[in-house]
Structure 1
Amino acid sequence: MLVCLVCCSEYGFAEKVVEGMFIIVSSITIKIHSKAFHASFELWQLQGYSVNPNWQQSDLRLTRITDPRRGEVLTFKEITWQTLRIEADATDNGDQDPVTTPLRLITNQGRIQIALKRRTKDCNVIASKLMFLLDDLLWVLTDSQLKAMMKYAESLSEAMEKSAQQRKSLAPEPVQITPPAPSAQQSWAQAFGGSQGSSNSSSSRLSQYFEKFDVKESSYHLLISRLDLHICDDSQSREPGLPQASVLLWQLSVCECSSAFRMQQNYL
């Protein structure tokens, strides 16, 4: 399944139709190859759909928030799956100790929650928020796999930083404010508990609602309800008197890891 998104037109009816699609994929495989690492992601029973700002399925008109004053729109998506398999390996062995054991991780049910803020003029993404949520996770790592994971994370971090700097260097055009369709204004007026009152009052309430769920900067979050991490030493010690192998056990509850990119504020 190949999805190509081109953000070059104004946010309108066609974009709303695409966003309202409910996608079901039995299996998907993603492979990444670079000079520093190669990785593969396999997903089974994948589902993607739109949700409201509270991450619940509801009327599609309530899964987006358009602010005509800002000329921006917020959309919310959720992706779920039954099984996820990740395999990554570092190919750049800069030291004398080669990394030969690939990193493997198999998880059960999980989901990703995505919030996007885009310009209505050209659908260009201004900021995004991605939350990766997993249930109980048991992970057994050897020291060579841990080394491969560190090199993989380092290469991925460098690629993300270069991408953020490239987007920051792009000079944005002046924002052209486009008023939303009347049907969208009526839907939000009903959601706020009002009727067809004055347009200024409705627009003010809409701006406040937009501000409540606004994505100020791009951020990435990993939330695991429980993590059992076992790190095993698979190397043979050459020093006399030292044990041949050891195991380090970690158990964490409600583990959360977050990362934010504040340079997006300069892009507005």
Structure 2
Amino acid sequence: MTTSTTTEVEGFSTESGSRRADRVRLLAQPAAVLVIVAGVLAWAFTSSLDDIEAESIQAGVLWAKTWEHLVITGVVAAIVVGVAVPLGAVLTRSWAKPVAPLFLAIANIGQAAPALGVLVLFFLWTGWEGLWAAALPIAFYSLLPVLRNTIVGIQSVDPALVDAARGIGMSSSAVLFRIEMPLAVPMILAGLRTSLVLAVGTATLAFFVNGGGLGELVDTGYKLNRTSVLVVGAVLAVGLALLVDWLGALAEEFLGPKGLS
């Protein structure tokens, strides 16, 4: 009896310690990002810059490139959620399960292929340039985590809950939207968090198709051998990825079913 109580207390302490660590990380991560980004920007703005560096390292230019990067990421997020979540839900239905491996294989091809190759092939196929020429292939590249997690999250719902819901007369669609999807939200959010981090990183390649973004700064700094421009562009891209990851962690913390916390 004493051993059992000790185990329970220890388990409670471990769980509480883990949650405290998660909350500390949620506070520390954005603070660390802001300190690093502010430090790098302060170093860049106070350094002796030549004409090329001064042209790239301006508040207006940095904000414009960061905004372009955010727009690409937002469009990718909308496409991924709009495609992967409904498709994942459909593929969990009994009549669609036989074709689920096919769609997962297609999504896996998108992620397994080099991101630059996906961008260039889409450009050669369509001849498009700009935002959509970058966002659509990046969305294809980032689709798999959300699609897979939607399927796994719905399939992981306790069958007893589904049977009970059907036993009280709920239709299949009502069971999906009122029982299965809400309980799958934590898994879906985890997949979306991964997808968005992938999207932010891959969006640095958008400049290859005139899509803008922080990759232009990285490319300029590299080609013209301007270390300050290269460092500023890279740090802003990394900081943006970490902030997106932090927002994903917040969503997982506060948007999941409260009974599972």
Please indicate the TM-score interval, normalised by the length of the shorter structure: under 0.3
Q: Which structure's residues are more often helix, by fraction? A: 2
Taking structure 2 as the reference length, what is the TM-score of the superposition? 0.26
Choose between structure 1 and 2 for higher RCO, CA contacts under 8 A separated by at least 6 residues: 2
